[in-house]
Amino acid sequence: MSAVTARPVQRLVPRMRIWTGTRAIAEAVKIADVDVIAAYPIRPYTGVMNELARMISDGEFSAEIIVADSEHSQFEIAKHASAVGARTFVGSSGVGLLYAAEAITVTALAQLPVVALAGCRALDDPGNFGMEWNDTLVFRDFGWLVSWAKDAQEALDMTLVAYRVSEDRRVLLPHFVAVDGATITHIASPVSPPDERIEGFLPPYKPPYPLDPEYEPVTKAQHIAPSLIGTEQRKVVDVSMKRSRGVIEEAWRDFSRRVGRSYPPFLESAYMDDAELAIVTMGAYTKDAVYVGQKLRERGERVGVVRLRYWRPYPAQELRESLEDVKGIAVLDFSYSFGSPDMGGAFYNELRAALYEAYQKPLILDFLFAGGREPNVEHFEKAVEITKRAVERGRPERLVYWLTLRGEDI
Amino acid sequence: MSLQPIRTPKELGSIDYYTSGHRTCAGCGPAIGYRLATKAAGPKTVLLGPTGCMYVANGHQFLTSPYAVPWFHTQLGGGGAAGIGTAAAFRALISKGKRKREEINVLVYGGDGGFADIGYAGLSMALTYDYQRLLYILYDNESYANTGIQASSTTPWGATTTFTPTGKVKRIGNERMKKNVALTIAAHPGVRYVATSALYPPMDLVNKVRKALNSGGPAFIQILTPCPKGWFFDPKHTITLSRLAVETGAWALWEYEEGTFSLTYKPPKRQGLREYMRMQGRFTHLSDEDIERLDRVIEEQWKLWLESDRQRRIILPWTPPPTPL
Ligand SMILES: Cc1ncc(C[n+]2csc(CCOP(=O)(O)OP(=O)(O)O)c2C)c(N)n1
Ligand code: SF4
């Protein structure tokens, strides 16, 4: 070998790693220099805690990591550490999230910017490692911000942005970063970790009223007479949620500029310019949906794809603007809500509610993939086909389809 | 910094950290315990309160607060986790240079429902960690008082509560024996200090709190705190009942320090339970024989308590429950 070496091209080609989603999120937690982590095992989110425990054991960064006795304790630990002034990380999946429900509620109402990973998984019974969104969607009314990543790269980036948005004094609300179980948590894909340009993106966390004898004593979450401040207390959370929209936009603009990847804050669209039909979904299956969109475009069909990046705050206005001109929407929905309006999924009905205020209402059909059985691109193509036929006929035969069901879809 | 032992109430000084601004019942034992425990801990303390009377009755419709140090609510079953989360935050922030180095007491003051039932697993988890100056105090008023006096696992045998009423068929009321929570906590090897206490003798609680905070690890104290509403007695008798509970041996005072057991109070000549129980409305349905049979159970238990004291080791004071006639 000659002594002459090639100059590294690192600055131009970002260094890619092959990471699972949970590994990528652990990297974000490390970059955020989180202080307190509370863990409890449940698939598929567990990997993130395994990674963090390893990083801490190897001295890659320093944090208190508590192995809790339950998810309820896990979320209470994070909530209380956050009240003192520590940056915190927790997470769970499936029934674990429901077990923690009480602690999850109060975290938002106490306005503590805890960041949690929700690794979406079907709820019991029976035990099922499949992917469904219900475990996370049930927290839609609780005052948590909920964002939904489509791959490991975005999961890493979203976690960093989650801290920035949550800890912003205009927001101070906790944040779920949701990722689809297995497809994101467990599948390794190329990830480019942020470089030094990220420095300063995340200012230190300082709660306005830390629970620390160093400051004036605060009495936090004291029992109240409802007539006194009950309504105002709820309004504070409402206003924080409203304000978070602007803060989210700001944060993604700054983040995109620093890392050189461009992220639209609320919706990501493909082929939507002159689309007559749209596929609307969230998460990992977006890539398959885009593939279907591309395929159908090649056949001359005017099909586009819209993906929600946030579930809370819900991007109602953006969805209206994006979907008002389409004639039909195929919702790829991994949620259910037994007994709901038209027996559709929670994801579907929320979209219908948002589009009720649109000046022109498209036909909206729900393709509901419940129970964790994986759909494939053929199912998605079929969904578009059914939607197209309904549009041509001017009315839908039915509103909700269980395409992965074996047997009659009653 | 070590907290020094206190001999007389005067030495405690006049500053209170749990003060006016609450609306507990007159003669509320848990409130008296709160006042003493917080006085013992001093100003460098964070208080955490699981739901219960010491949450709801300490809140006030006029938005006043009885706490002169930082205080935060935790869910009924969240006491253990809340203490751990708070202590972990201080340790992380201090060790990472994000906060000035200082010893902070974390004191979680929870009821028997909160700590002995719904939050028992969380408490147990917390006591397997090694956080210093983390003290869990169970104020044992022997019922879910705040929801209207329901039996918990520390309600004594024979007590009538709204979930264990005495009736035509079920004569006894609560037929479960009181769970000895503090003994189960002593089975956690990470705990440096475990004690039981009462509002009598006067400085017992204060000094146990200070010992617990000095102990160098997580600690636990279970205080028997009479509750006029749940035990049905005149509020002026709260301290008298505390004294009788200790003197009759109904409630044994002990501490367990790094593996060494000792009784901190030995009733000189144990009196029968009769006076103690007859002052409480929750036992009025019990016959004299019922009380005598309970007396014999206590008598048996005391042989074992004294033997534990002699050996400096815990022997479980197990006795068969008094079967109703
Ligand atoms: C998860 C949950 N379940 C039930 C309640 C209702 N609740 C409020 S206070 C209380 C009593 C708690 O009893 P204890 O811990 O013994 O405290 P005490 O009321 O006796 O002071 C209960 C059951 C609650 N707040 N949270
Ligand atoms: S019910 Fe008992 S514990 Fe509750 S405030 Fe009244 S006396 Fe105190």
Subunit contact B82:A76, Cβ cutoff 8 A: yes
Distance B55 CA to ligand 1 centre (A): 9
Regarding whether A52 and A169 lie in a shared domain, the answer is yes
The CA distance from B184 to A156, in Å, is: 43
The pLDDT score that the predictor gives to residue B164 is 97
Q: Is the ipTM of this complex over 0.90?
A: yes
Q: What is the CA radius of gyration of chain A?
A: 22
Distances (CA, A) of A82 to A115, A389, B75: 10, 52, 16
Regarding whether A252 and A287 lie in a shared domain, the answer is no
Domain count, chain A: 2
Domain spans, chain B: 25-311
What percentage of chain B exceeds 70 in pLDDT? 99
Domain boundary among A231, A259, A287: A259
The pLDDT score that the predictor gives to residue B324 is 58
Is the bond preceding A409 in cis, omega lying within 30 degrees of 0?
A: no
What percentage of chain B exceeds 90 in pLDDT? 92
pLDDT digits (tens, 9 = 90+) for B92-144: 999 999 999 999 999 999 999 999 999 999 999 999 999 999 999 999 999 99
Distance B25 CA to ligand 2 centre (A): 5
Distances (CA, A) of A328 to A282, A359, A361, A363: 18, 14, 9, 5
Interface of A with B in 191-250 (CB under 8 A): 204, 211-215, 217-225, 228-229
The pLDDT score that the predictor gives to residue A13 is 56
**Which chain B residue has the Cα nearest residue A209?**
B70
pLDDT digits (tens, 9 = 90+) for B274-303: 999 999 999 999 999 999 999 999 999 999
Regarding whether A191 and A43 lie in a shared domain, the answer is yes
Nearest CA to ligand 1 atom 22: B147
* CATH code, domain with A381: 3.40.50.920
The CA distance from A109 to A221, in Å, is: 9
Mean pLDDT by 10 residues, chain A (410 residues): 49 78 98 98 98 98 98 98 98 98 97 98 96 98 97 98 98 98 95 93 97 96 89 96 98 96 96 97 98 97 98 98 96 98 98 95 97 97 98 96 96
Chain A residues with CB-CB distance to B72 below 8 A: 80, 83, 110, 211, 219-221
Regarding whether A201 and A319 lie in a shared domain, the answer is no
The CA distance from B253 to B196, in Å, is: 5
The CA distance from A362 to A383, in Å, is: 15
Regarding whether A66 and A142 lie in a shared domain, the answer is yes
Regarding whether A296 and A160 lie in a shared domain, the answer is no
Chain B residues with CB-CB distance to A215 below 8 A: 70
Regarding whether A153 and A46 lie in a shared domain, the answer is yes
Say whether pLDDT at B4 is over 70. yes
**Which chain B residue has the Cα nearest residue A78?**
B85
Please give the structure tokens belonging to residue A55. 């990083």
Q: What is the mean pLDDT of residues B161-189?
A: 96
Subunit contact A222:B63, Cβ cutoff 8 A: yes
> What b/e sequence results for B85-113 when a residue is b if at least 16 CB atoms lie within 10 Å of its CB, and e otherwise?
bbbbbbbbbeeeebbeeeebbbbbbbbbb
Regarding whether A249 and A272 lie in a shared domain, the answer is no
What residues are in contact with ligand 1 under a 6 Å CB criterion?
A: A 102; B 30, 51-54, 76, 111-114, 141, 143-147, 152
What band does B271 get if pLDDT is binned at 50, 70 and 90?
A: confident
The pLDDT score that the predictor gives to residue B64 is 86
Domain boundary among A259, A290, A313: A259
Regarding whether A245 and A104 lie in a shared domain, the answer is yes
Q: Flag whether A381 is in a domain.
A: yes
What band does B29 get if pLDDT is binned at 50, 70 and 90?
A: very high
The pLDDT score that the predictor gives to residue B319 is 85
Chain B residues with CB-CB distance to A212 below 8 A: 46, 70, 90, 99, 104
Q: Which CATH superfamily groups domain B25-311? A: Thiamin diphosphate (ThDP)-binding fold, Pyr/PP domains (3.40.50.970)
* CATH code, domain with A157: 3.40.50.970
The pLDDT score that the predictor gives to residue A5 is 53
Regarding whether A300 and A255 lie in a shared domain, the answer is no
Domain boundary among A259, A292, A311: A259
Chain A residues with CB-CB distance to B84 below 8 A: 66, 68, 73, 77, 80
Instruction: Tell me the residue range of the domain where A271 lies.
Output: 267-402
- The answer to whether B21 and A223 have CB atoms below 8 angstroms apart is no
